[in-house]
Amino acid sequence: MAKLGGPVVVGVDLGTQGLKVLAYSPSERVVVAVAQAPLDLDARADGSREQDAAWWVAALQTCMQQVDPAVRARVVALGVSGQQHGFVPVGGSGEVLAPVKLWNDTSTQDECAAIEAALGGTEQAVAIAGNPILPGYTASKVLWLQRHKPQAYARLRHILLPHDYLNFYLTGAYGAECGDASGTGFFDVRKRRWSDAVLRAMDPERDLRLLLPPLLAPTQVVGTLLPSVAALLGLPSSVQVAVGGGDNMMGAIGTGAVVPGVLTLSLGTSGTLYAYSAEPAVSRQQEFAAFCDSTGGYLPLVCTMNCTASTEIMRSMLQLQLSEFEQLLASAAPGAGGISAVPFFNGERTPDCPSGKGCFFGLTATNSGAGNLLRAVVEATIFGLRTGLAAMQDAGLTATAVRVIGGGSHSTEWRQIVADVLRVEVAVPEQSESAAFGAALQALWCHQHSQGEAVAISRLVTDHVACAATKGARPRPSVAAAYDLFFADYLKHTRIVQALYQ
3-state secondary structure of 198: helix
Q: Which residues contact 391 (CB under 8 A, 6 or more apart)?
A: 283, 285, 287, 288, 302
User: H-type helices in 246-305, by residue range?
Assistant: 247-255
For residues 274 and 250, give the distance between their C-alpha atoms in angstroms, rounded to a whole number.
12
Which has the closest alpha carbon to 455: 260, 219, 258?
A: 219
Burial class of residue 127 (count of CB atoms within 10 Å of its CB; 0-12, 13-18, 19+): middle
For residues 199 and 115, give the distance between their C-alpha atoms in angstroms, rounded to a whole number.
9
Beta carbons of 118 and 126 less than 8 angstroms apart = no
For residues 121 and 133, give the distance between their C-alpha atoms in angstroms, rounded to a whole number.
10
For residues 427 and 410, give the distance between their C-alpha atoms in angstroms, rounded to a whole number.
11
3-state secondary structure of 211: helix
Beta carbons of 243 and 175 less than 8 angstroms apart = yes
For residues 143 and 160, give the distance between their C-alpha atoms in angstroms, rounded to a whole number.
14
For residue 466, the 8-state DSSP code is -
For residues 502 and 499, give the distance between their C-alpha atoms in angstroms, rounded to a whole number.
6
The residues that are catalytic are 247
For residues 473 and 490, give the distance between their C-alpha atoms in angstroms, rounded to a whole number.
23
Which has the closest alpha carbon to 493: 379, 388, 342?
A: 342
Q: Residue 218: is the preceding peptide bond cis (ω within 30°)?
A: no
Q: Which residues contact 93 (CB under 8 A, 6 or more apart)?
A: none
User: H-type helices in 256-369, by residue range?
Assistant: 308-317, 322-331
